[in-house]
Structure 1
């Protein structure tokens, strides 16, 4: 393939601000990704650093798409907190402050493999409020201490706002994250698999 040709990188918004979903098995919950309503796209400008959406870079939204732009631009909407190659399932957990995740797929148009943006995902934080990933806000792609959950259907719980402002009232609150279930306090009513260095979330019933 020739060098210097434009490259296009497609991004799928893997998780929206509606919150993470957890499927229950007895008292244990396994976190599952929430489905996206659409597939926004982003375009890498010719001549830019091939490390597309690297940590610390920013992206701007335009007509349902995301494009890497300078963080000093007034059109910058979100900053990359972490960037990982490979598929998100089984990959590193995004930081707790993440508001949404972008799935990155490289589509080469005549560029060499060495200049291709690798497949992976970017953990994004909005530059301005709202921040659905903050504790208790009812959204974000990861479950964090302080988040609340409601029973979506039999065997499945989903995040909701702790202040009761969402359509579903909170039923559980994540009180802490630990390395294993026995480390949760005796008052724990629900165990949620959240991943990362402390993969078990301990939740108490609110209602």
Structure 2
């Protein structure tokens, strides 16, 4: 490989060829070095800037990911605390509902007891009244049969007055005892 400017008119033999070759190689190396010195630094600088930008983006993405991780950890911790609070509130509400239901049941049982006691007293009073009525009818029938044959009209009038007086006393006593039974049941 010979360059025209490096060619000598005389050929100096092997040494001349070596000198020409050496000069050509030195010129070629200098030319390549000059091209690399002028053209490659901007290319390297551009690559360096690109790599630096990529590294900066990676660092920024890493920081954002770290911040997101911290936010997620905080959110999870807050969610756990909130879940515990919800569970506590639910247990408290369930306990309050249980107490309210128990109190309502006790009130209903007491109301039913009072109603049953009232109904029992009422039935007892009706039964007493019916028994008195039946005994009075039986007594009247019995005494009518016996008195009709043995009693004179004067004795009949006297007995009738005494019987009516006793009935009135019994009615007054039963009304006052009925009132005392009602006041005792309240």
Q: Do both proteins adopt the same fold according to a TM-score greater than 0.5, normalized to the shorter chain?
A: no
Of structures 1 and 2, the larger Rg is shown by 2
**Greater RCO (CA < 8 Å, at least 6 residues apart):** 1
- Alignment TM-score, normalising by the size of structure 2: 0.19
* Richer in strand (by share): 1
TM normalised by structure 1 equals 0.17
User: Which is helix-richer, 1 or 2?
Assistant: 2
